[in-house]
Amino acid sequence: MSNVISSIEQFLYRLSEYCDRQQWDEYLAMFDEDAEFHIPQWDSEHVHTTDPKREMSLMYYPSRAGIEDRVYRIRTGKSAACTPMPRTLHLINNVQADEQEDGTYLAKVNWVTHYFRFGESELFFGRAEYRLRPDGDSWRICRKQAILLNDKIRHVLDFYHV
């Protein structure tokens, strides 16, 4: 199991690096075409929403196409929320993974994203769960759910914040 955890850690470190370096093609390639991306909204102080199709979310894409659209808008300058594009640094720790009955793995991590734009620095932090499927000697993301623990968000939230 430790080899699996190590492999998953390295995969998630690469995902973070691709996002931080804005290597969007490599970043997108780590997601299945039908990969769901979800950032739930808080329902109460300690309970977040669970069903993105029936409850409010901070962000929800039912497939990779949603992230691809955001990347397109970033690349073409059609996103005022990320012009200029901020600098980010993602840190991941406490990686845990369990094999599921269908052969995928559920990986749980803690994360912090350092965010710098317009001369100001901010932190975003939380927990995330990834549903990963083996893909040769690597992995593919089938689902990402990031729980944002910040109480205040002073910027338009985007996929690169988590």
Give 130-153 pLDDT, tens digit per residue.
999 999 999 999 999 999 999 788
- What's the pLDDT score for residue 1? 66
* Tally of domains in the chain: 1
Render pLDDT for 23-77 as a digit per residue (tens, 0 to 9).
Answer: 999 999 999 999 999 999 988 888 998 899 999 999 999 999 999 999 999 999 8
Q: Which two tokens stand for residue 16?
A: 């973070």
Q: Which residues contact 120 (CB under 8 A, 6 or more apart)?
A: none
Residue 81 has pLDDT above 80, yes or no: no
Whether 11 and 138 have beta carbons less than 8 Å apart is answered as yes
Geometric angle at alpha carbon 111, from 13 and 45, rounded to 5°: 160
Structural domain including 128 reads: 2-161
pLDDT at 92 over 90: yes
pTM summary value? 0.94
Q: 138-148 and 120-135: which strand pairing?
A: antiparallel
User: Residue 25, class by beta-carbon neighbours within 10 Å (0-12 exposed, 13-18 middle, 19+ buried)?
Assistant: exposed
Q: So what's the pLDDT on residue 80?
A: 78
For residue 76 the two structure tokens come to 């073409």
CATH code for the domain in which residue 89 is found? 3.10.450.50
Strand order in the sheet with 31-40: 57-61, 31-40, 138-148, 120-135, 105-117, 87-99
